[in-house]
Amino acid sequence: MPFRRRYTVPLPGGQLLALGERALVMGVINVTPDSFSDGGIRFDAARAVDAGVQMVEEGADLLDIGGESTRPGASAVDKDEERRRVLPVIEGLATRVRVPISIDTYKARVAEDALAAGASIVNDISGLRFEPALAEVVARHNAALILMHTRGTPAQMTQLASYLDVVDEVRDELRESIAFATGAGVQKERILIDPGIGFAKESTHSYEVVARLEEFAELGRPLVVGPSRKSFLAKAVGHALSPADRDYATAAAVAASVLAGAHIVRVHAVGPMRQVVRVADEIRRYHRAD
């Protein structure tokens, strides 16, 4: 079982995000009409804010707000519509919860307004490849930045899931994203990485990434993993299960990720997954390295 290095990630306003002593739970709030995980039941600002408050009560350490579906094949949403969806939710949550809020976007303008509204982390699925100007926004706000791996847009990514060694190639491409971010002024200590399970990856690739998570430690940055309810789980449990019925399968992937050294797991069902994370962390405490 790999060692999980400890990090302190600075956030705006002098806040610090301590990572490594235990795995943190990031609750996902999709403010979209076509969310793959919940069918769009939180496509309403008031309901989304209430959902975020409930997640914190259930043990979420962070919240991640997204206004554009990025599932494979999804169409893009323009920045004005995305802003309309997410800003009221961020503003509402900023007055009701004390945990850090992340904005899940690759658009510089959306990130700019979200950070002004109360977000302190930008979660970019493209690793700064879609809108490189996003890096300057993050740097100017002294925000934290999650760099995720993908290839191509959601509409294209399925065709780009070709690797000789998925972990080596994903790690190299994340290294490039880190270099670009720091070159644009983002402090390295504010960067986290996400290997992008399910993004430009066949199910076999996603399973291999989870199995070899410890190999991403060489990048020297905290590791965020998001296996929740994703379609790669269906390879093991059956394609007939809807995303909302994949929570037991998600629990297995979450436990495996924590045991392999993940610092943050990104999930939809916070209450049950918090229990999974706590048990996995307790197992880690008793592991003896050879």
- 140: annotated active-site residue: no
Alpha-carbon dihedral of residues 174, 193, 249, 33, nearest 10 degrees?
A: -90
8-state DSSP, 104? E
Check: CB of residue 174 under 8 Å from CB of residue 195: yes
Structural element, H or E, at residue 170: helix 166-183
CA pair distance 254, 256, nearest whole angstrom: 5
| Summary count for the chain: helices (H), strands (E) | 9, 10
List 201, 266, 274, 284, catalytic entry? 266
The angle that helices 134-141 and 108-117 make with each other, rounded to 10 degrees, is: 20
Pick the catalytic residue from 230, 246, 274, 284: 230
Maximum pairwise Cα distance, the chain: 54
Beta-carbon neighbour count of residue 257 at 10 Å? 27
Active-site residue flag, 230: yes
Q: Which residues carry out catalysis? A: 230, 266
